[in-house]
Amino acid sequence: MKEEYNFRKGEILLVDKPLGWTSFDVVNKLRYPLKRKYGIKRLKVGHAGTLDPLASGLLVICTGRKTKEINTFINDTKIYTGIIKLGATTPSYDLETEIDATYPVEHITSELIEEIRLQFLGEIEQTPPIYSAKKVNGKRAYESARKGIDIKLKPSTIFIHDLSLELKKNHNIHFSIKSSKGTYIRSLAYDIGKALNSGGHLTKLRRETSGEFKIEDALSVDAWQNIIQETRVGDMNL
């Protein structure tokens, strides 16, 4: 870790986002103490790639002039690990919503999973979940979905560099994926379940890397708040 920080000039904060928090929750938890400590009304703070509330792991936070690099970081490839539960689907493709359909799983084998895995490597088309922040007719898709409004989202092109799938107990697939910007892991879970003719939904997700940044170097929100508190006011000078 660095010994001195100049958050106003610009810093990159690697945060281990906890479950249940939105990415903006993390931003606000860091922006507020910075503004309060140094008596400033405005300070640019942003994140370089959203993590869903039900996901944990690496969130890259930029402050000050470093926010100009956010678009570059967003475009970086990312690595995730997690679990896909086979045999059932949910409207949100994860645990945000209740199971809406169940499917047989007796035919699932490691050999079949390996065959399916190969179909998801390289450039593929993927449709985002309707429970997502994608805009349809000027509204966030999840806003319409939660009201029961039927909406259609257009597929987008993504690139999967690497994908491992391992069948575990209770028809859970443990996975690791390295993918391009714009990949919805929830959609991947759904699509894999569909390809296996068993249905599937995401039950666990953790971001391990984002470009050159790694979760091993990340700190908790509390730890960053303590660093902010201990940083000298003089360190904020431009």
Catalytic residue among 52, 150, 217, 222: 52
52 among known catalytic residues: yes
Residue 214 amino acid letter? K
Map 77-123 to HEC letters. CEEEEEEEEECEECCCCCCCCCCCEECCCCCCCHHHHHHHHHHCCEE
* pLDDT tens for each residue of 176-188: 999 999 999 999 9
Q: How confident is the model at residue 113 (pLDDT cuts 50, 70, 90)?
A: very high
CB 80 within 8 A of CB 40: no
> pLDDT-based confidence at 1, cuts 50/70/90?
low
Residue 27, H or E segment: helix 23-38
Residue 216, C-beta contacts closer than 8 angstroms, at least 6 positions apart: none
pLDDT in tens, 33-91: 999 887 888 899 999 999 999 999 999 999 999 999 999 999 999 999 999 999 999 99
Three-class secondary structure of residue 127 per DSSP: coil
pTM flag (> 0.85): yes
Share above pLDDT 70 across residues of the chain, in percent, rounded to a whole number? 90
CB 210 within 8 A of CB 78: yes
pLDDT at 2 over 80: no
Model pLDDT, residue 238: 44
Q: Is the pLDDT of residue 5 over 60?
A: yes
| Domains of the chain listed by start with CATH number | 12-75+212-236 (3.30.2350.10), 78-208 (3.30.2350.10)
- Contact 207/58 with Cβ under 8 angstroms? yes
pLDDT at residue 141 in the model? 66
Alpha-carbon distance of 210 to 204, in angstroms, equals 18
Q: For position 236, what pLDDT does the model report?
A: 46
CA–CA distance, 190 with 115 (Å, rounded to integer): 17
Average pLDDT over residues 212-236: 87
Q: Tell me what the mean pLDDT of segment 103-129 comes to.
A: 95
d(CA 112, CA 19): 32
Q: What is the mean pLDDT of residues 167-176?
A: 97
User: Tens digit of pLDDT for each residue in 136-153?
Assistant: 666 676 676 676 667 777
- Whole-angstrom CA distances from 130 to 110, 133, 210 are 30, 8, 25
pLDDT at 237 over 60: no
> Is residue 17 a contact partner of residue 51, using CB atoms and an 8 Å limit?
yes
pLDDT category of residue 16 using cuts at 50, 70 and 90? very high
Tokens of 136: 């349809």
pLDDT at 154: 85
